[in-house]
Amino acid sequence: MPGALDPFVPSAGDPWDARKAAHLLRRTGFGPLPDEVDRAVAAGPERTVDAIFAFPPDPVPPAVFDDVRGAEQQLESTLDTLRATRQPINLQTHPELRGLYQEVGRRHGRAIVGLAGWWLERMATSPAPLQEKLVLFWHGHFTSAFGDVHDAIAMFNQNQLFRRNAAGNFARLLDGVARDSAMLRYLNNDANRKGHPNENWARELMELFTMGIGHYTEDDVKESARAWTGWTLRDYRTGDDRRAFAFKPMIHDGGPKVFLGQAGAWDGADIMRIILAQDATPRWIARKMAVFFVSPTPDPSIVDAMARQLRASAYDLAPMLKTVFRSRAFYRPDVMLSQVKGPVEFSVGAVRHLGMNAPDWVRIFNAAGVMGQRLFFPPNVAGWHGGTAWINAGTIFARTDLASALVSGRLGPVSDAAFPTLDAAVTRLLARPLAPHRHGTLALATGGQASRTALHLLMSMPEYLVA
């Protein structure tokens, strides 16, 4: 009996060609270029899939954080001096602190923009774009928003956690997230104390991060919130303390709980263990990854097969993803071009297609925000909806506006050499021919030249918005 994820085997009638290679590289990256597609065609699906999972070592943190640390240290040394006096310290008694606090806040605000630019640059230039695509996926899954966390370094640490575990083990990633300072602050588990539970993290962990609604009760939320007490930040005194995890037995509720039908004196690690043992969890993760990487309406048999493999591999993600990217189902006509490019994917891809080096990433970050995806500022804990929800009259024009700014060279020089003719531009941007009537209209309007107008029109057309 054929399986839902049986491998794609090239044949004379159904060869491994540029369309399929471009599809794989689009879904696992950001705007593939013709030479990359050519290499993938030559290498074949097996080797290409192996190659895209070769992730580089950890990147060096961006320089933007030196500024933040400087302001934090100045504030902290001032506070240390004041503490030595053993007098009460607050903004009424010491109004001069206000300026120091504000400076720390300002520098974090500048740093998060710098960090977003750094990440966009990495998406555009990394030798392993799939790793960054997965970081983007996890950012939309295990959401934390700078607007609530107020700490660019904590957001970077979370970003690195996603990068290190991008296609690693989901259980290990989840454990890291439960101890991540940005998450502890974003979902308030740093305020979850024995006798005074705060349910925010406990609820979203089940509803959005692992099982999905319908697989637990309100009582499970309340009981697990108790189990999560004491999973908190080391301290609030310094920036580094606020960015470090600590388990504090003094504020942990060690009493008995009943969670998903199991009784015990559970703590957070037990809650994760019990959640990971539920059938709903691999299914939830498999489905979310299928929606992101395969199709907005994935075939249930594909989701089932993915979930089975995830469970069999004890939550190792790479084997499941490799099976998907090698499967016949991944190259079905109704799967190819079934996705709407997200704003970040659209923007980074456009930069790559135009052959731009070091463009104004901050302006591009803001433009993607207007399109509905502001990195480090997800709209709420459910992340970005994705799919056709990206598209409405307003966000369409945000896309055509960014395309205009890019092709006009306003955000950095465009490599004109990449576009000798309109046909070359079509191949580079779409990796497939346009329907004859569209091509005719475009050629008529542009005289067959790869003019700025032609590039802008191409990037504004529905065909460029799909992946």
Q: Which residues bind other proteins (CB under 8 A)?
A: 188, 191-193, 195-200, 203, 207-208, 213, 218, 337-340, 370-372, 379-382, 385, 388-389, 391-398, 400-401, 404, 407-408, 435, 437-438, 441-442, 444-446, 452-453, 456-457, 460-463, 465-466
Counts for the chain of helices (H) and strands (E), in that order: 23, 4
To other proteins, the closest distance from the beta carbon of 76 in angstroms equals: 22
To other proteins, the closest distance from the beta carbon of 99 in angstroms equals: 20
Listing DSSP states for 149-207 in one string gives: H--HHHHHHHHHHHHHTTTSBHHHHHHHHHT-HHHHHHTTGGG-BTTB---HHHHHIII
Which one-letter DSSP state was computed for residue 258? E
How far apart are the C-alpha atoms of 346 and 238, rounded to whole Å? 39
To other proteins, the closest distance from the beta carbon of 66 in angstroms equals: 30
To other proteins, the closest distance from the beta carbon of 149 in angstroms equals: 12
Nearer CB in complex with other proteins: 271/406: 406
CA angle, residues 43, 49, 51, in degrees to nearest 5: 75
Q: 68 phi and psi, to 5 degrees?
A: -65, -50
Nearer CB in complex with other proteins: 95/195: 195
Whether the Cβ atoms of residue 346 and residue 354 lie closer than 8 Å to each other: no
To other proteins, the closest distance from the beta carbon of 387 in angstroms equals: 9
Question: And the tokens for 279?
Answer: 């059938």
Nearer CB in complex with other proteins: 278/453: 453
To other proteins, the closest distance from the beta carbon of 337 in angstroms equals: 6
Nearer CB in complex with other proteins: 133/185: 185
Lookup result for tokens 């005074």 = 196
Nearer CB in complex with other proteins: 121/190: 190
Nearer CB in complex with other proteins: 25/335: 335
Q: Provide the phi-psi class of 279: left if phi over 0, else alpha when psi is between -120 and 50, else beta.
A: alpha
Which residues contact residue 382 at a Cβ distance below 8 angstroms, ignoring those fewer than 6 apart? 143, 208
Q: Distance of alpha carbon 338 from its chain centroid, rounded?
A: 20
Which one-letter DSSP state was computed for residue 208? I
Nearer CB in complex with other proteins: 65/186: 186
Listing DSSP states for 429-444 in one string gives: HHSSPPPHHHHHHHHH
Which residues contact residue 26 at a Cβ distance below 8 angstroms, ignoring those fewer than 6 apart? 32, 349, 431, 467
To other proteins, the closest distance from the beta carbon of 53 in angstroms equals: 28
To other proteins, the closest distance from the beta carbon of 430 in angstroms equals: 11
To other proteins, the closest distance from the beta carbon of 409 in angstroms equals: 10
To other proteins, the closest distance from the beta carbon of 297 in angstroms equals: 11
Which of 335, 344, 359 is closest to 415 using CA atoms?
359
Which of 273, 274, 272, 300 is closest to 286 using CA atoms?
300
Q: List, in sequence order, every beta strand (DSSP E) within 336-439.
A: none
To other proteins, the closest distance from the beta carbon of 95 in angstroms equals: 18
Whether the Cβ atoms of residue 140 and residue 173 lie closer than 8 Å to each other: no
Whether the Cβ atoms of residue 288 and residue 141 lie closer than 8 Å to each other: yes
- Is residue 53 classed exposed, middle or buried when 0-12, 13-18 and 19+ CB atoms within 10 A define those classes? middle
Question: And the tokens for 86?
Answer: 């053993």
Nearer CB in complex with other proteins: 106/385: 385
Nearer CB in complex with other proteins: 104/187: 187
Nearer CB in complex with other proteins: 273/385: 385
Nearer CB in complex with other proteins: 357/408: 408
Under DSSP, is residue 246 helix (H, G, I), strand (E, B) or coil? Answer: strand
